[in-house]
Amino acid sequence: MKLPEIKILDEKNKLLHQQSKEVTFPLDKETIKLAKDTLKYLKMSQDEKVAEKYNIRAGMGMAFVQLGFLKRIFVIASENDDHTFDEYIVVNPKIISQSEELIYVGEGEGCLSVNREVEGIVPRYARITVQFYDINGNLQTIRVREDLSVAFQHEIDHLNGILFVDKIDKKNPYKNASKMREI
């Protein structure tokens, strides 16, 4: 299987700090193809042999802005224990509720646009409910938790021009860690 050719912008690119625009339906063929290619790329990146062969890092999600398109779309490929994937193509998402409980990724968040080690934690809600449109324009509502909640919040931040590194306290990278649960 051939790795789809997608170019991921680096954090130095100013586009990553711009707000993405809502999209209208129906989606054009190029947008649909890019969403499906990006899902395939993410799934392949999570296979150690493929990642090594193509010299790529594993990724779970990708916002269209990371590919150079200011569209409110992101995709997530979440690997299950049985090596199948839950796939999400999320268009025009809105968080409609969140838990009070905060969590953070113990080993630190990563991003395919941030090609360096980053120390610190990013506070995230343990559970969120998101309303969005699927690739066909159907309104969906999903409740996500733990890793998937972090991924959804990370990608929604991208759509709002925010990188995870922007959310880490520069003076105290582990600020308030004791008030959150590590995952």
Max Cα-Cα span within the chain: 47
Task: Report the C-alpha gap between 6 and 91 in whole angstroms.
Answer: 19
Fold for 14-182, please state it.
Peptide Deformylase (3.90.45)
Query: For residue 48, is it left (φ>0), alpha (ψ between -120 and 50) or beta?
Result: alpha
- HSE at residue 87, side-chain half, CA atoms within 13 A, is 16
Q: Domain map of the chain by residue range?
A: 14-182
Spatial separation of the C-alpha atoms in residues 89 and 134, rounded to whole Å: 6
pLDDT at 134: 97
pLDDT in tens, 13-67: 999 999 999 999 999 999 999 999 999 999 999 999 999 999 999 999 999 999 9
30 tagged catalytic:
no
Pick the catalytic residue: 30, 48, 119, 155? 155
Residue 98 in tokens: 């969140």
% of the chain with per-residue pLDDT over 70: 100
